[in-house]
Amino acid sequence: MSYVDGFVLSVPKNKLDAYTKMARKAGKVWTEYGALSYRECVIDDDNIKGMRSFEETAGAKKNEIVVFAYIEYKSRAHRDKVNAIVMKDPRMNEMCDPSDMPFDCKRMSYGGFKMIVSY
């Protein structure tokens, strides 16, 4: 079964275009080095009665929008190999200037997930 890196983060609405531009560049880098897929999604329906919202979980402020993102790999070993190469790519360093990020990295949730069901 494949392996997934998942992310949930809050992006200020006035920085969503900058974030999207950065995400497109990052997706090209990850898939160039072998990621099976790279997806970035913005919340569209988060008001389900009786359930905790992603906005609440992510600690999104009123001026922020929640992004759910994931990268799929063949396996955890494949993820580790791809990520090691990605992190050395100079394009990633250019995008990751802490003084110019379109979101607060310290508030981002991230984890690696073993796939247990896939259709």
> What is the residue-level pLDDT of the chain in tens, covering all 119 positions?
899 999 999 999 999 999 999 999 999 999 999 999 999 999 999 888 999 999 999 999 999 999 999 999 999 999 999 999 999 999 998 888 878 889 988 899 999 999 999 99
Residue 56 belongs to what domain range?
A: 3-114
- Residues near 109 by beta carbon (within 8 Å), at least 6 away in sequence: 7, 8, 9, 57, 58
Residue type, 101: M
The percentage of residues in the chain with a pLDDT greater than 70, rounded to a whole number, is 100
Q: Does residue 55 lie within any of the structural domains?
A: yes
Phi, psi of 20 (to 5 degrees): -60, -40
- Residue 9's pLDDT is 96
Whats the size of the chain, residue-wise? 119
pLDDT digit string (tens) for 57-87?
999 999 999 999 999 999 999 999 999 999 9
Predicted TM-score (pTM) of the model is 0.92
Q: Are the beta carbons of 69 and 78 closer than 8 angstroms? A: no
Looking at residue 26, which CATH number applies to its domain? 3.30.70.100
Q: Is 23 part of a structural domain of the chain? A: yes
Residue 119 included in any domain: no
If one counts the domains in the chain, the total is 1
